Amino acid sequence: MLVPFIIDQAVTYSDVFTTPADPLLQIILDETRATHPKAHMLSGEVQGQFLSMLSCMKKPMHILEIGTFTGYSALCLAKGLAPSGVLHTIESRLEDAQTASNYFGQSKYANQIKLHIGDAKEIIPTLHGMFDLVFIDADKTGYIEYYEMVVPLLAKGGVIIADNVLFHGEVLEENISGKNAVAIHAFNEHVKNDPRTNQVLLTIRDGMLLIQKNEL
């Protein structure tokens, strides 16, 4: 079993051998870490590059992100958008949405990113069309409901990425007690038992569940 020191070394090593964030993304990283009280929620460089690479391989026409935060992950995902593609991102906190909107306006994807402010459970039903790629990084107790809302909206072969599925390691405990950890473990079990999809759990950052809709 890897001890925490070795894990920390591995994280540092992976940072060294991952393509650095572009200038705007680096600004978002630096400013969020310096000023935001919940900066730990920010996707890091390695996760960001993973999202960008997956999106570039998928070349999606339509992306949905549930949980914008300060906009870092949306801009990573936008890198793979088809030229006429659109990314819808939903944020419930007005201040974070305003911050993200400012960064989006500085990017070359400004006209392709549609920011929605409010409750994702109310906004998702108003969106039209099918999605090729969905990123879920919002309130953990809502993951199962978000999942059930978006699976029918996935195009054939569409992919869902769910973040924080290890939830700081709390899901590994013998007796899971925290509300969010319990919810995340229930979500992982829910997806595992869903015959509509296949999945793989990756140990990047705080755990990412990569889910693909079966092509039936």
* Cα(171)–Cα(138) distance, integer angstroms: 17
CATH number reported for the structural domain that contains residue 122 in this entry: 3.40.50.150
Least confident range of 38-42, 64-68, 95-99, 208-212: 38-42
* Confidence label for 216 from pLDDT (cuts 50, 70 and 90): low
* Cα(117)–Cα(95) distance, integer angstroms: 10
* Confidence label for 1 from pLDDT (cuts 50, 70 and 90): very low
**98-118 residue pLDDT tens:** 999 999 999 999 999 999 999
pLDDT for 86 equals 98
* Cα(3)–Cα(184) distance, integer angstroms: 24
* Cα(160)–Cα(60) distance, integer angstroms: 12
CB-based burial label for 157 (10 Å; 0-12, 13-18, 19+): exposed
pLDDT for 12 equals 86
Q: Percent of the chain beyond pLDDT 70?
A: 96
pLDDT for 144 equals 98
* Confidence label for 5 from pLDDT (cuts 50, 70 and 90): low
* Tokens describing residue 72: 């870092």
**22-66 residue pLDDT tens:** 999 999 999 999 999 999 888 889 999 999 999 999 999 999 999
Range of the domain at 65: 4-213
Please determine, for residue 8, whether its predicted confidence score (pLDDT) is greater than 90.
no
* Tokens describing residue 110: 């400004």
> Do 80 and 54 contact (CB within 8 A), yes or no?
yes
Across residues 131-141, what is the average pLDDT?
Answer: 97
Number of domains in the chain: 1
Q: Any alpha helices (H) in the chain, and if so which ranges?
A: 4-16, 23-35, 45-58, 72-78, 94-105, 120-123, 143-150, 179-192
pTM of the model: 0.94
* Confidence label for 6 from pLDDT (cuts 50, 70 and 90): low
